[in-house]
Chains A and B, each alone.
Chain A
Amino acid sequence: DAGVIQSPRHEVTEMGQEVTLRCKPISGHDYLFWYRQTMMRGLELLIYFNNNVPIDDSGMPEDRFSAKMPNASFSTLKIQPSEPRDSAVYFCASSGPGTQYFGPGTRLLVL
């Protein structure tokens, strides 16, 4: 398997623009997680899905953030409108019961 795939790997955008991050989990994994990593706050769980259903979105910082998982092989994290404080590395991870495997991350810079 190719592992968890994320795109784009880098994104530079201007404040106010919509940003969409994409994730393809490992085939057969029924859990999918979105994390954000910053120097100030470390690694934070934003939301996770089980069998394409959102289970816990308590980490989503604001209504500007939304996540979807239309099928077992694809998920998106959308920020609209983006702000400079959203600049971070966003990771997607997937798992069966137990071990989580992380994607390479998307480095987002909002100017």
Chain B
Amino acid sequence: GIQVEQSPPDLILQEGANSTLRCNFSDSVNNLQWFHQNPWGQLINLFYIPSGTKQNGRLSATTVATERYSLLYISSSQTTDSGVYFCAVGTSGTYKYIFGTGTRLKVLA
């Protein structure tokens, strides 16, 4: 089956810093989402981005489907950005998502 790898596994930032999270996948995908799991366990949808670039405030994401990777950019990080960021991918003909192992982010005040 498709493999999803996220890097880095852990990241510690000072408030105000920028960061880039990466998601590599081993096969062609038709669906890709980025989620943030906050410290209370809630999974929040950030982007649905099977291809192209999207921006939402301080967050943006880019997926290059032909090269099998996606990037999540966080600018001017805040302590509320702390948590785990997951990439999830789905292949053709299915909405079955495979989740990566996540990037655990801690933003220090």
The interface of chain A, by Cβ under 8 A from chain B, is 31, 33, 42-45, 48, 50, 55-56, 89, 91, 93, 95, 97-102, 104-105, 107
CA distance A104 to B48 in the complex (A): 19
Which chain A residues lie closer than 8 Å to B66 at the CB level?
none
Q: Are A89 and B41 closer than 8 Å at their CB atoms?
A: yes
Main secondary structure of the interface of B (DSSP, over half): strand
Stretch at the interface among B18-26, B69-77, B96-104: B96-104
CA distance A44 to B31 in the complex (A): 17
CA distance A45 to B88 in the complex (A): 11
Q: Are A102 and B45 closer than 8 Å at their CB atoms?
A: yes
Q: Are B94 and A56 closer than 8 Å at their CB atoms?
A: yes
Main secondary structure of the interface of A (DSSP, over half): strand
Q: Are A99 and B45 closer than 8 Å at their CB atoms?
A: yes
Q: In B21-50, which residues have CB < 8 Å from any A CB?
A: 31, 33, 35, 41-45, 48
Which chain B residues lie closer than 8 Å to A45 at the CB level?
96-98
CA distance A94 to B102 in the complex (A): 21
Known: A43-B99, A100-B97. 18 other contacts (CB 8 A): A33-B95, A33-B97, A42-B99, A44-B99, A45-B98, A50-B95, A56-B94, A56-B96, A95-B95, A99-B45, A99-B48, A100-B33, A100-B45, A101-B45, A102-B42, A104-B41, A104-B42, A107-B41
Which chain B residues lie closer than 8 Å to A102 at the CB level?
35, 42-45
Which chain B residues lie closer than 8 Å to A104 at the CB level?
41-42
CA distance A24 to B33 in the complex (A): 22
Q: Are B43 and A48 closer than 8 Å at their CB atoms?
A: no
CA distance A48 to B31 in the complex (A): 16
CA distance A104 to B37 in the complex (A): 11
